[in-house]
Chains A and B, each alone.
Chain A
Amino acid sequence: RKEVEQDPGPFNVPEGATVAFNCTYSNSASQSFFWYRQDCRKEPKLLMSVYSSGNEDGRFTAQLNRASQYISLLIRDSKLSDSATYLCVVNTWDTGRRALTFGSGTRLQVQP
């Protein structure tokens, strides 16, 4: 089983749509959680951290359910520029190092 699992998509949605991505992680000792965005042939860029209480940044809302080991990202009012791959990332302190584990990503294509 992968440490971080995501639906690969692609999700094809029209502009203005609301879209939700889900992610599950296997290591219950994971401490912190993030969503990254990666454009084609580019490095991943931090989109937002994910907190247990849920957090919102503009059109983006992230949720964490530690009991279910489940993370979500909601994008409202999708823009063409939101087209990218969204990576669910988990940070686990393991054998003295703080490493990021990446999901395989969910591809979003927003269409005009």
Chain B
Amino acid sequence: GAVVSQHPSWVICKSGTSVKIECRSLDFQATTMFWYRQFPKQSLMLMATSNEGSKATYEQGVEKDKFLINHASLTLSTLTVTSAHPEDSSFYICSARDDENIYEQYFGPGTRLTVT
């Protein structure tokens, strides 16, 4: 089956620093990728839709200047959390939509971010 990787799987950083999370589709091309955030005991919330070659589409309430998304190739999207604060600590999960089958989305294993 299709595989999506995320790196790093977990990261601890200090307040005020920036953290970059990578999402890669390993065996398929993905023009569209999605970034989700999940707080403990809550559901996954879509943060933004990442589109290769164009600007990301952010959900209401998500600051685009704080969560920078770059989808530079058909297999890679990055999410950078800028000036991280403890309230940004969360589980960030990406998913990638297979260009050959737009009805399928494949999830990465997630990145656990802890901001101290």
- Identify the A interface with B (CB < 8 A): 4, 8, 32, 41-45, 87, 97-105
Contacts and interface: CB of A to CB of B under 8 A. Distances in A.
A27 to B, nearest CB: 14
A44 B44 contact: yes
B43 A100 contact: no
A44 to B, nearest CB: 6
21 contacts: A32-B103, A41-B110, A42-B109, A42-B110, A43-B107, A43-B108, A44-B44, A44-B93, A44-B107, A97-B57, A98-B97, A98-B103, A99-B34, A99-B46, A100-B46, A100-B95, A102-B43, A102-B45, A103-B43, A104-B43, A105-B43
Contact of B49 (A8, A43, A97, A105): A97
Given A32-B103, A101-B46, A104-B43, 17 more contacts: A4-B43, A8-B41, A41-B91, A42-B110, A43-B108, A44-B107, A87-B43, A98-B97, A98-B102, A98-B103, A99-B34, A99-B49, A100-B95, A100-B105, A102-B45, A103-B43, A105-B43
Interface string B46-76: 1001000000010000000000000000000
